[in-house]
Chain A
């Protein structure tokens, strides 16, 4: 069964993504060093989310794979999010 995903990603793409990831890391370190108090947590997590999406889409080939892999990955992350929210229904309102 020939796998439709035998798509060769050029080295340059990977290198470019790495540069992006490093820049994002730099930004998140910089942002949290200047105390934005409440917002620094949010910004740091947002940046972590973007970095994760980059790693999953390019390094882990989700962008080039069949759709089912993307669908599954997104649903699993949503599931985790919902579990978090439901748990906090308890702690936020105690």
Chain B
């Protein structure tokens, strides 16, 4: 990238498109980065309460969701190999598997959230007020961060849904697949964030 490119502006520039995607990913990292700062500060200030509150979360569900996201990350990465190999069928299959896994993740999350809420553990609840400041902050952060992450999962699903249609309609092909790569990059970002959310909320007991 050291030499400037000569490009007519309706010419396709895959590197520019990828660079744009990466820059967007950086902003997303910083967005969650702000939340990680908040998490660290409150964990530092209320370490004992965070320690105890984390036990309320089910490690098994968390691990399951981690496995689901890791596998989905692999399938979407593989789809970019499949498209390069001109294998449209496999590409579509891999994207579809990713979408299904994402949906399973959300269903899991739904039941997990539902369980917490039915136990009265939700922002602003009277039970949390009784439990104390550390628990209030822990569950506030838990809902806010996993909620924002779930929102990103949904956005990622919409993006990958479009990719599926584009591959189907041959708008994404073996010599024009930067969009699919970018969609994949976004999905990996969602995965990376979960890789940190998982230990921070479920494992640190």
Query: Direct contact between A and B in the complex (CB less than 8 angstroms)?
Result: yes
A5: which B residues are within 8 A, CB to CB? 15, 18
Say whether A10 contacts B81, CB under 8 Å. yes
Q: Given contacts A1-B11, A15-B74, A69-B22, are A25 and B67 in contact (CB under 8 A)?
A: yes
Size range of the interface on A? 35 or more
Q: How far is the CA of A87 from the CA of B188 in the complex (A)?
A: 28
Name B's interface SS.
helix
Would you list which residues of chain A between 60 and 83 have a CB under 8 Å from chain B?
Answer: 60-61, 65-66, 68-69, 72-73, 76-77, 80, 83
B30 at the interface (CB under 8 A from A): yes
Name A's interface SS.
helix
Q: Chain B 172-205 against A: per-residue CB contact (8 Å), 1 yes, 0 no?
A: 0000001001001100100110011011000111
Say whether B63 contacts A29, CB under 8 Å. yes
B26: nearest residue on chain A (CB-CB)? A76
Q: How far is the CA of A45 from the CA of B84 in the complex (A)?
A: 35
Q: How far is the CA of A58 from the CA of B74 in the complex (A)?
A: 10
Q: How far is the CA of A88 from the CA of B85 in the complex (A)?
A: 49
Subset of 21 A-B contacts with CB under 8 Å: A1-B7, A1-B14, A3-B15, A8-B85, A14-B77, A17-B74, A22-B70, A25-B63, A28-B199, A29-B59, A32-B199, A32-B203, A40-B205, A44-B204, A52-B192, A59-B77, A59-B184, A60-B188, A80-B29, A83-B33, A84-B36
